[in-house]
Structure 1
Amino acid sequence: MLLLTLTMIIVAYLIGSISSAILVCKLLGLPDPRTTGSQNPGATNVLRMSNAFTAATVLFLDILKGTIPVWGAFFLHVDSLYLGFIGVAACLGHIYPIFFNFKGGKAVATALGTLLPIGFTLGGLLILTWIVVAKISKYSSLAAIVTVSIAPLYVYFLKPLYVYPTLMLSALIIFRHRDNIKRLLNGTEDKITRKIKS
């Protein structure tokens, strides 16, 4: 079981290292998202650069990066605590992708993907939380921080077995947003906008 877990952790990291934003932008002839906008290769920055459909495609692929390895490990009967390490590995792949010079994104969508195997009720609650906070505040980063902060509470009431793995993911995502937190406190954080093409 230990060998299986280690293998799944490595696989999760490698899958997470596939940058959907960079590949989709390259395929569509758009600028590298690491060089424009917020310089973050994620769905929100792609939305600023292009359109909702392209951003949704990136979002969907980033979610899959988290769901595939965790769901696979779940069906292989990997222990719940180790599922957390596998989920963290997928997120670390997104944040520090080996295929893209270790310069990645914030891993919010990938973290969501790792939590979906717990249940679609949880997924719906997380998505709803993000949408509500983002709509009210207009800050994608604040929506992400609030969502991952409350995720362990949702999990506690739905499937408490997975609280500790969820806490691992939440801590990682909040740590990754430390610069955003500083900008939010200083009032210099960028709001969600989309470039309108004429």
Structure 2
Amino acid sequence: MNETKQQGETTEKKSILKILFGDLPFQELLEINTKLNYFDKTINISWYVVLIASFINSFIFDQSVSKLIYMIITIPVLILISLSLIILFRKDFGVHRFICLGCTAFMMLLLNQWIDLYPFIKQDYITIEGIPNKVEKHAPRYGKGYWEVVIDDVKLTLPSKLKEKQMKSGIEIQYLPKSKFIIEYKTKDIYK
């Protein structure tokens, strides 16, 4: 009796999904949680939550500057990598594990600040000081505007709240070597 009730609920869910989405090639992905045990469900849901958080971080903190922002961007990507590796080695996930791996690889490319984790921990920042050779303001249609600054053939992006006059007098920037994520910047008058 109980078994027929569960089958009825399952067919109802399938018919609702079929009405909403039609015949989907990824129907199995929508039903993945029904096949998993409690631990795997927790891992799967956590992976989705962290994926969404990482994706949102990519838009919110695109031109931000600080150590805290670096950690806010990097920690979800590192958690996503860890969860993806756990999912990859759990055979219960089936094809879903390769889709998780692909999405994780995409987020790793989108938020590439994680490659500078070791220099960040060691506080091995590159410091550049001088008057910019080129200062150009970018104001995209969507998102925040930013300054593109070139000092000694190094192209960096700074937040738009700075004034061009401040940057033309001189600037000192600490940034990470590979991703060129700016940790700190100071405007100063080089001529004094």
Higher strand share: 2
The alignment's TM-score, normalised by the length of structure 1, stands at 0.30
Give the helix-richer structure, 1 or 2: 1
Task: Tell me: higher relative CO, structure 1 or 2? Use CA pairs within 8 A at least 6 residues apart.
Answer: 1
Highest Rg: 1 or 2? 2
